Amino acid sequence: MQQALNDNLNKIKFLTGNAESLVNINKIFAKEPFNDEIINFLNDLSQSLILNREAKNYSDVVTFAFWIRKSSSLKLKERFYDKNNLSLGKGVVFHVAPSNVPVNFAFSLASGLLTGNANIVKVPSKDFAQVNLIVEALNKVLSDERYKALKDYIYLIKYERDKEVNDLLTGLCDMRVIWGGDNTISEIRKSPLNAWAGEVTFADRYSIALINSNYYLNLDLNLKRKAAQDFYNDTFFSDQNACTSPRAVIWTGNKINEAKKEFWRLEHELVKNKYNFQDIQAVNKLTSFYILAADKLNVKLENGFEDNLIMRAEVKELELDLMNYKDNSGYFFEYEVKENILEIKNLLDNKKCQTLAYLSDDVQELKDLIMSGLKGVDRIVKFGKTMDFDLIWDGYNLFAALTRIISFD
Amino acid sequence: MLSFEEFLNLEQPYGLNKLEKNKLLTQRLLDLTRLHKDNCLEYARMLESVNFDFNKVNSYKDLPFLPVRLFKELNLKSVADENIFKTMTSSGTTGQAVSKIFLDKLTASNQQKALVKIVSSFTGSGRMPMIIIDCPSVIKNRLMFSARGAGILGFAIFGAKSIYALDDEMNLNLEAIREFLDKFRDKKILLFGFTFMIWQHFYKALKNNNLKLDLSNGILIHGGGWKKLLNEAVSPEEFNKRLEDVCGIKSVHNYYGMVEQTGSVYMECECGHLHASNFSDIIIRRAFDFKECAIGEKGIIQVLSSIPESYPGHSLLTEDEGILLGEDDCPCGRMGKYFKVLGRMQKAEIRGCSDTYAASFK
């Protein structure tokens, strides 16, 4: 038994914490959500990251640093914490971060800490500068005498795919949080949870964007440029391969042709200057396009540019299986709403549809669309906000999932 | 429609200069585009999706090209199922999708005829005693030809009497080879195999056991790519030299070809350059905009072949990178383009939370 345990612990690389204390993680007391110690700790970590010159090069690290500032934590506290309730963290949370989003692990950890839990976080095994920056800063703040007691609440680890290690860590936790995709979820689910334990899973999702052509054309050039930058952050920044990245652009209003031209012209300008284009992406996108064209009627390649940075497949109908044909790195389906926004229902009426990013002033139209009873769409956000993390994500309330309320009569 | 016979009737397989070739090939490839548009629904839809217009084609350079991976994802054919004579597949590793290429009798026969024309301009006409550097089991299942099996059967036509150099456990059959060489002592011997197989199971077996063979009178033709040999840091020059060390062979010709365009292979000449024959051509394209590269500029290799009538594979975008070295002016005297293959394009490093291995293939 002991030997097997040691063998498995030896497969784990600890970036924070160590094996001896990890096996005793169950003995740690849960904390009150949003307690001062945690809020101050995160605020110090935020400071340390904001002052770090290297961190400035990574907008995702900066975003994280802002998300854990004291003011931001207090806002979350106000939104989620009800002081009339007696509540505590669930205990131990085992987080499995996605392998190719560098900073997601940090948001997951911060969520676990803010809700009063001890945390085991599997960080991406790939070497990301962002991960190193955050881990280094975190260890530095953690070495401060004031936060000594928090050491037992944070384990940042790396290990290669291994069922036995998954078993071990799952056995230690009261809540498991798996940040997809689908294959990772089914892999980790082979390790059974304790009977009392719960799970939050973020499956593979897709997202879409909606632009009202009249609204867009009325923006001044600065705002149009901002829209281009926002859209870039929503898509190209993560190779258009995050679950939050729009794969399709839906156009509404009655000046679609004009708006399209302007929107894509400005987007293209930006992509040309900023995006790190990889040769094979051109071949991949052309392949995806032709597969779609072979299977569906009335598909058109809308390029308009002399290069392969942005490839757009115009579809005349939104069939239910359209997203089976999706690709990344600058590959978009485009659809023009002819009469009624409900025409796009097929694309949204699906558990896999996550975020609807909008550039429009017709909010009622969007509400009506959702309230028509769609199965999908868990977030509706403005352009540029698709990646903004919140304790409500993918339709889950993470605060509620990671805490428990003690009824006291 | 311009018949493939026109190409077969040309005396020299490397005789057409740039102008003549452009004229003949453009006509044939336009005809093939029309043929596939009329007979392959998927292909017709693809042409439609890019607003392809026959009237705007001045040269075969203006024709659309299909990425080769489409043949893994779709069943593309321009003949009725009952006319499919055989289906060739690429030799993908287990679990990967394989290309499916559907051949009718005419296309299969034209592939063979083109291959004979091309190869015999290097080996001379007439069959030769042939040593196949592979194992016999690779061609057992004749209904589903793998690229390796297809290559062997394609080249087997040049062999008068042939033996396999390896047994099914990939051991060198030294005794049989020696006996064979003894029997055809004064004859020119043809050797054929896949580059990596030759290196791994022929060269290394001889080298590691301090064995020598006398193949100074032989001609070796090999293909299949350098990918695995690059891992062992073996250059083409090194490959040739090391083989000469163990068996005295001087005439070694690599070729570039693929199961999606069997027949119209690109042979390496005496100067070490791969050549496009009359039957086919290559265009090196920039990934950034698919425009044609200049001589000496690295790009994606597009291959065009005048052969395929049973499937829409006459203009394909490969995932290989290459460099055009020149046209009509190789010191070896052959007309047409000559070029260099650099290997597979680098896989994409993609960010995002979707599982990467699931995302790369549907």
Question: Residue B362's pLDDT is what?
Answer: 29
What residues of B are in contact with residue A299 (Cβ under 8 Å)? Answer: 45, 49
Comparing CA positions, the residue from B57, B344, B295 lying closest to residue A283 is B344
What residues of B are in contact with residue A236 (Cβ under 8 Å)? Answer: none
For A294, which of B42, B300, B317 is closest by C-beta distance?
A: B42
Torsion of CA B220, B221, B225, B228, to 10 degrees: -20
The residues, any chain, with a CB within 8 Å of residue B35's CB and separated by 6 or more, are B1, B78, B309
Residue B17 and residue B335 in contact, taking contact as beta carbons nearer than 8 Å? yes
A236 CA to chain B: closest CA distance, Å? 10
Stretch A362-388: mean pLDDT: 93
State pLDDT tens for residues A150-193: 999 999 999 999 999 999 999 999 999 999 789 999 999 999 99
Task: Report the topology of domain A206-382.
Answer: Aldehyde Dehydrogenase; Chain A, domain 2 (3.40.309)
Asked whether the beta carbons of residue A299 and residue B45 sit closer than 8 angstroms, the reply is yes
Comparing CA positions, the residue from A380, A352, A78 lying closest to residue A250 is A380
What residues of B are in contact with residue A281 (Cβ under 8 Å)? Answer: 287, 348
State pLDDT tens for residues B245-260: 999 999 999 999 999 9
Alpha-carbon span A55 to B204, nearest angstrom:
52
Residue A119 and residue A153 in contact, taking contact as beta carbons nearer than 8 Å? yes
Stretch B126-133: mean pLDDT: 93
Torsion of CA A219, A223, A224, A225, to 10 degrees: 160
For B74, which of A182, A281, A291 is closest by C-beta distance?
A: A291
| Distances, alpha carbon B339 to alpha carbons A263, B200, B282, in Å | 41, 26, 9
Domain with CATH 3.40.605.10 in chain A: 2-202+394-406
Q: B259 by DSSP, 3-state: which?
A: helix
Report whether the peptide linkage leading into residue B296 is cis, meaning its omega lies within 30 degrees of zero: no
Question: What one-character DSSP code corresponds to residue A281?
Answer: H
Comparing CA positions, the residue from A256, A226, A261, A231 lying closest to residue A246 is A231
pLDDT at residue B357 greater than cutoff 70: no
Q: Which residue has the tokens 């699931």?
A: B358
For B49, which of A240, A293, A307 is closest by C-beta distance?
A: A293
For B353, which of A181, A278, A282 is closest by C-beta distance?
A: A181
The percentage of chain B sitting over the pLDDT mark of 70, rounded to a whole number, equals 94
Share in percent of chain B as helix, strand, coil (round to 5) = 35, 25, 40
Share in percent of chain A as helix, strand, coil (round to 5) = 45, 20, 35
The percentage of chain A sitting over the pLDDT mark of 70, rounded to a whole number, equals 99
What residues of B are in contact with residue A240 (Cβ under 8 Å)? Answer: 352
Strands B189-194 and B218-223: parallel
Q: A232 by DSSP, 3-state: which?
A: helix
Asked whether the beta carbons of residue B362 and residue A324 sit closer than 8 angstroms, the reply is yes
Domain with CATH 3.40.309.10 in chain A: 206-382
Q: What is the DSSP string of B138-155?
A: GG--SSEEEHHHHHHHHH
ipTM of the complex: 0.93
Residue A365 and residue A339 in contact, taking contact as beta carbons nearer than 8 Å? no
Say if A279 is an interface residue toward chain B (CB within 8 Å).
yes
For A406, the token pair is: 């003690």
Please give the distance of CA A226 from its chain centroid, rounded to a whole number.
22
Asked whether the beta carbons of residue A293 and residue B319 sit closer than 8 angstroms, the reply is no
Question: What one-character DSSP code corresponds to residue A84?
Answer: T
State pLDDT tens for residues B134-164: 998 887 755 555 677 878 888 989 999 999 9
A interface mutation test: which of B53, B285, B354 has the most A CBs within 10 A? B354
Closest-CA residue of chain A to B355? A181
Q: Residues 390 to 409 of A: which have CB under 8 A from any B CB?
A: none
What residues of B are in contact with residue A355 (Cβ under 8 Å)? Answer: none
Stretch B69-84: mean pLDDT: 96
Angle between helices A129-142 and A59-67 in degrees, nearest 10 = 30
pLDDT at residue A140 greater than cutoff 60: yes
pLDDT at residue A127 greater than cutoff 80: yes
Q: Which residue has the tokens 């006398």?
A: B214
A289 CA to chain B: closest CA distance, Å? 9
Stretch A54-67: mean pLDDT: 93
State pLDDT tens for residues B25-34: 999 999 999 9
Residue A212 and residue A382 in contact, taking contact as beta carbons nearer than 8 Å? no
A vs B, Cβ pairs < 8 A, gives 137
pLDDT at residue B14 greater than cutoff 50: yes
B145 CA to chain A: closest CA distance, Å? 25
Q: Residues 293 to 312 of A: which have CB under 8 A from any B CB?
A: 293-297, 299-301, 306-309
Sign for the CA dihedral angle at A110, A115, A120, A124 comes to: negative
Comparing CA positions, the residue from A88, A103, A42, A102 lying closest to residue A68 is A42
Stretch B201-215: mean pLDDT: 93
Question: Residue B349's pLDDT is what?
Answer: 81
For B237, the token pair is: 């020059």
Q: Bridge-partner residues for A397, per DSSP?
A: A392
pLDDT at residue B3 greater than cutoff 60: yes
Question: Residue B126's pLDDT is what?
Answer: 87
Q: Residues 170 to 189 of A: which have CB under 8 A from any B CB?
A: 179-184
Q: A16 by DSSP, 3-state: which?
A: strand
Task: Report the topology of domain A2-202+394-406.
Answer: Aldehyde Dehydrogenase; Chain A, domain 1 (3.40.605)
Angle between helices B41-49 and A279-295 in degrees, nearest 10 = 120
For A378, the token pair is: 């868990």
- Name the pLDDT band for B356 (thresholds 50, 70, 90): very low
Stretch A262-287: mean pLDDT: 96
For B351, which of A101, A179, A309 is closest by C-beta distance?
A: A101
State pLDDT tens for residues A237-248: 999 998 999 999
Asked whether the beta carbons of residue A182 and residue B42 sit closer than 8 angstroms, the reply is no
Asked whether the beta carbons of residue A287 and residue B347 sit closer than 8 angstroms, the reply is no
Burial classification of residue A37, based on how many CB atoms lie within 10 Å of its CB (0-12 exposed, 13-18 middle, 19 or more buried): middle
- Name the pLDDT band for A219 (thresholds 50, 70, 90): very high
Residue B85 and residue B141 in contact, taking contact as beta carbons nearer than 8 Å? no
What residues of A are in contact with residue B53 (Cβ under 8 Å)? Answer: none
B72 CA to chain A: closest CA distance, Å? 11
- Mean pLDDT over each residue of chain A, to the nearest integer: 95
For B290, the token pair is: 């698919």
Residue B155 and residue B221 in contact, taking contact as beta carbons nearer than 8 Å? yes
For A294, which of B45, B51, B290 is closest by C-beta distance?
A: B45
A interface mutation test: which of B285, B353, B355 has the most A CBs within 10 A? B353
pLDDT at residue A221 greater than cutoff 50: yes
| Distances, alpha carbon A105 to alpha carbons A134, A153, B357, in Å | 10, 15, 20
Domains contained in chain B, CATH given: 1-76+273-362 (2.30.38.10), 126-268 (3.40.50)
For B203, the token pair is: 């060269």
State pLDDT tens for residues A325-359: 999 999 999 999 999 999 999 999 989 999 999 99
Sign for the CA dihedral angle at A346, A352, A358, A364 comes to: positive
Residues of B near A (Cβ–Cβ under 8 Å) read: 42-43, 45-46, 48-51, 66-67, 69-70, 73-74, 76, 287-290, 300, 317, 319, 321, 345-359, 362
Q: Residues 327 to 386 of A: which have CB under 8 A from any B CB?
A: 328-329
pLDDT at residue B358 greater than cutoff 70: no
- Name the pLDDT band for B207 (thresholds 50, 70, 90): very high
Comparing CA positions, the residue from A225, A336, A207, A216 lying closest to residue A273 is A225
What residues of A are in contact with residue B290 (Cβ under 8 Å)? Answer: 282, 308
- Name the pLDDT band for B214 (thresholds 50, 70, 90): very high
Q: Which residue has the tokens 């392949």?
A: A287
pTM: 0.92
Burial classification of residue A72, based on how many CB atoms lie within 10 Å of its CB (0-12 exposed, 13-18 middle, 19 or more buried): middle
Residue A199 and residue A176 in contact, taking contact as beta carbons nearer than 8 Å? yes
- Name the pLDDT band for B94 (thresholds 50, 70, 90): low
pLDDT at residue A306 greater than cutoff 90: no
Alpha-carbon span A302 to B196, nearest angstrom:
43
Alpha-carbon span B326 to B14, nearest angstrom:
14
Asked whether the beta carbons of residue B353 and residue A243 sit closer than 8 angstroms, the reply is yes
Stretch B272-300: mean pLDDT: 97
Amino acid at A151: K
For A245, which of B67, B289, B352 is closest by C-beta distance?
A: B352
State the alpha helices, DSSP H only, in B40-93: 41-49, 70-73
Q: B223 by DSSP, 3-state: which?
A: strand
Question: Residue B133's pLDDT is what?
Answer: 94
What residues of A are in contact with residue B352 (Cβ under 8 Å)? Answer: 100-101, 238-243, 245, 328
* Secondary structure string (H, E, C) spanning B104-121: CHHHHHHHHHHHHHHHHH
- Mean pLDDT over each residue of chain B, to the nearest integer: 91
**Each residue of B147-174: b (16+ CB within 10 Å) or e?**
bbbbbbebbeebbeebbbbbeeeeebbe
Q: Pick the more confident residue, B185 or B325.
A: B325
Say if A240 is an interface residue toward chain B (CB within 8 Å).
yes
Q: Pick the more confident residue, A356 or B348.
A: A356
Residue A219 and residue A261 in contact, taking contact as beta carbons nearer than 8 Å? no
